[in-house]
A and B are shown apart, each in its own frame.
Chain A
Amino acid sequence: MIDRLFGDLTRAGLAALAAFVLLLLVLPGFATGYILSVTTIILYLAFVGQAWNLMLGFAGLLSIGHALFMGIGAYASAYLFARHGLPPIVGLIVGGGLAVAVGAAISALAFRFAIGGVYFALLTIAFAEFTRIMVDHARFLGGTEGLFLPVSAESRQGFDLFHLRGRPEMFYYVIMLLCLGAHALCRWLLTSRAGYYWRAVRDNPQAAEALGVNIFRYRMYAVMVSSGMAATAGVFYAFFYNNLFPEQIFSVERSIEMTLAPIVGGVGTLFGPIFGAFVLTPLGEVLTWAIEWLQHEEIIGKQVKVDGVKLLFWGIAVAAIVLLQPRGLWPWACKRLGLIRAPEDREEGR
């Protein structure tokens, strides 16, 4: 089992992965509140990045509307908690189920009518936008005024996993386990029949079909797993931030944000989305400090918006990656550091 899941890693790669996991486990022991909150956001982006990567990187399906699935999970769990006092696990089941059903419906529509490539991506945006407008007008979800989760000063000190009310450390550990769990799930899926079929469909659907792959079904599976993961991220998001606004949750920026870490880290790789998140988010933080410092020193004016500069930076980062390392930073780093085995070094049947 270990061999099957981690057979692609060299000894150095295995050691690096173990060290990484260990570091994540002990981090709250010495990290400042700021570091912990940044790492929580990194892990959140690494988690949704893996969900998105599963579709594009494994199955070749581009979604630019993944905020839809994340938002369904967020709104469903927030609504059930805020209005009916139901714990997030119920929200996860309902929201996750709903997101998977919506994902299946979009796939059925798209693949039945042979809507592929860029048109499929446009369809995902259309559904996200459509949902945003619906939620804008849904009174029971707070509409444009937002939906808020009850939170007390006292609950911020606790460690109530069942209701996801507690200290920052609790949220950190929850998203860390989700992120590592997603990584394990992706490894398992990629080395199972579904993984082989997905990559075949991604590389050449016509050839895959001739080899007995029901491409409609396997594409649909990919969308369903990915949307379920994104909805799980949404539940976390809702309970971490405690407030939801449709224009934030379902915005195109939110969908784009999910794509950055995997694109920079390496689409189609297992660790790329995690690596990408760990590279990009700290860079964004440094950028924020730099702008604030420049504004403080009155070198640049207050009219310069941090968010705008960040967007510009992400644009440049993605363009640079696509031009210089189109396969992403992670494969490049692996080669440099010798973390991944060449196919000929993975022994058969191990």
Chain B
Amino acid sequence: MSTLLDVAGVGKSFKGLRAVHDVSFQVSEKEIFALIGPNGAGKTTTFNLIAGAIRTDTGGIRFAGRDIVGLRPDQICDAGIGRTFQIVMPFPDLTVLENVMVGALHGETDVAAARRRALDCLALLELDTRRHVYAANLTLPDRKRLEVARALATRPRLLLLDEVMAGLRPTETDRMVAILKRLRAETGLTILLIEHVMRAVMALSDRVLVLHHGERIAEGTPEEVTADPAVLECYLGSAPV
């Protein structure tokens, strides 16, 4: 399988705090790749670096063979990377449908076609019955689903999901896992996800990268990393694995 995303030695400091330090990994096409680690490990920062929301201090990022460092977030979206935000960012004065239509209008000028695509994405995320609700009035789990639907509507090749299962009940988590698996099977979507819910990580991921204090401490299959002493060590006193 060919490499879709190649993160090579990226680093980012905030006023002397090393949020991400010399992190490298590769995500292959159609892979589901998980990024885990305790709070403050630098996972979201890594996402922001890939998505162009913040600028890297060091290192390179290539997507589909192309250097994407320095591109604006909308250009990264154009390149084929869709993202969600851990702190959800709905458009509050737009309905759920309109929120997703904004995503669906990416590379699509026909509003009616975008509406159809948005409805498909909403159906997939089981949000279709909520489509006329203003996003400001959604519950948190629904907002998380909206984040996914909206990013998916942009037709990405790679989807970055930042803790989209946080706050979901176990049955809802299982549904989300099933949806993501189906997406990969049907559309060949590649997924890079940050997740604390180990149930989802174990069920979904082909490979897992563990970050701690901004550094990579382990990488492998879910089974391998959960058996890794260094990983168990870093999680002690934090969320149990």
Residues of chain B with a CB closer than 8 A to A209's CB: 72-74, 77
What distance in Å separates the Cβ of B25 from its nearest Cβ neighbour in chain A?
Answer: 21
A215 adjacent to chain B (CB < 8 Å): yes
CA distance A180 to B185 in the complex (A): 51
Chain B, residues 58-99, CB within 8 Å of chain A (1/0): the string is: 000000000000001110011000110100011111110110
Chain B, residues 109-152, CB within 8 Å of chain A (1/0): the string is: 10110111001000000000000101000000000000000110
A160 adjacent to chain B (CB < 8 Å): no
CB < 8 Å neighbour of B89 from A193, A206, A215: A206
B214 adjacent to chain A (CB < 8 Å): no
What distance in Å separates the Cβ of A57 from its nearest Cβ neighbour in chain B?
Answer: 10
When C-beta atoms are compared, the residue in chain B nearest to A203 turns out to be B91
CA distance A214 to B93 in the complex (A): 20
Q: Give chain A interface residues in 200-239, CB to chain B under 8 Å.
A: 200, 202-204, 206-215
Asked if B91 contacts A204 (CB within 8 A), the reply is yes
CA distance A48 to B216 in the complex (A): 58
CB < 8 Å neighbour of B51 from A202, A210, A268: A210
Residues of chain A with a CB closer than 8 A to B106's CB: 211-212
Asked if A196 contacts B105 (CB within 8 A), the reply is yes
- Select the residue from A191, A192, A200, A202 with max chain B CB neighbours within 10 A: A200
Chain A, residues 180-200, CB within 8 Å of chain B (1/0): the string is: 000000000001110011011
B102 adjacent to chain A (CB < 8 Å): yes
What distance in Å separates the Cβ of A216 from its nearest Cβ neighbour in chain B?
Answer: 8
A342 adjacent to chain B (CB < 8 Å): yes
CA distance A193 to B82 in the complex (A): 19
Known contacts being A210-B85, A211-B103, is A344 close to B132, with CB within 8 Å?
Answer: yes
CA distance A342 to B90 in the complex (A): 20
Residues of chain B with a CB closer than 8 A to A4's CB: 111
Asked if A207 contacts B154 (CB within 8 A), the reply is no
Asked if B112 contacts A197 (CB within 8 A), the reply is no
A307 adjacent to chain B (CB < 8 Å): no
CB < 8 Å neighbour of A203 from B92, B112, B116: B92
Residues of chain A with a CB closer than 8 A to B73's CB: 206, 209-210
- Select the residue from A192, A197, A207, A214 with max chain B CB neighbours within 10 A: A207
- Select the residue from B105, B109, B119, B151 with max chain A CB neighbours within 10 A: B105
Q: Bin the interface of chain B by size.
A: 35 or more
CA distance A311 to B77 in the complex (A): 48
Asked if A211 contacts B132 (CB within 8 A), the reply is no
Asked if A210 contacts B119 (CB within 8 A), the reply is no
Residues of chain B with a CB closer than 8 A to A214's CB: 72, 74
When C-beta atoms are compared, the residue in chain B nearest to A208 turns out to be B102
Known contacts being A192-B111, A212-B154, is A199 close to B116, with CB within 8 Å?
Answer: no
Asked if B94 contacts A211 (CB within 8 A), the reply is no
CB < 8 Å neighbour of B132 from A197, A215, A342, A349: A342
Known contacts being A196-B102, A203-B91, is A348 close to B115, with CB within 8 Å?
Answer: yes
Asked if B77 contacts A212 (CB within 8 A), the reply is yes
What distance in Å separates the Cβ of B203 from its nearest Cβ neighbour in chain A?
Answer: 27
Asked if A349 contacts B91 (CB within 8 A), the reply is no
What distance in Å separates the Cβ of A187 from its nearest Cβ neighbour in chain B?
Answer: 13
What distance in Å separates the Cβ of B95 from its nearest Cβ neighbour in chain A?
Answer: 5
Asked if B111 contacts A211 (CB within 8 A), the reply is no
Asked if A196 contacts B98 (CB within 8 A), the reply is yes
CA distance A214 to B101 in the complex (A): 16
Asked if A204 contacts B105 (CB within 8 A), the reply is no
What distance in Å separates the Cβ of B93 from its nearest Cβ neighbour in chain A?
Answer: 6
- Select the residue from B82, B94, B134 with max chain A CB neighbours within 10 A: B94
Write the residues of chain A forming the contact surface with B, with a CB cutoff of 8 angstroms.
Answer: 4, 191-193, 196-197, 199-200, 202-204, 206-215, 268, 342-344, 348-349
* Additional A-B contact list (11), CB under 8 Å, known A203-B90, A211-B154, A343-B97: A196-B111, A197-B102, A199-B93, A203-B91, A203-B92, A206-B73, A207-B150, A210-B151, A211-B102, A211-B150, A212-B106
- Would you list 19 pairs from A and B whose C-beta atoms are within 8 A, ordered by A residue? A192-B111, A193-B111, A196-B98, A196-B105, A196-B114, A197-B105, A199-B91, A200-B94, A203-B92, A204-B89, A208-B102, A210-B85, A210-B89, A210-B151, A211-B77, A211-B106, A212-B74, A212-B77, A212-B106
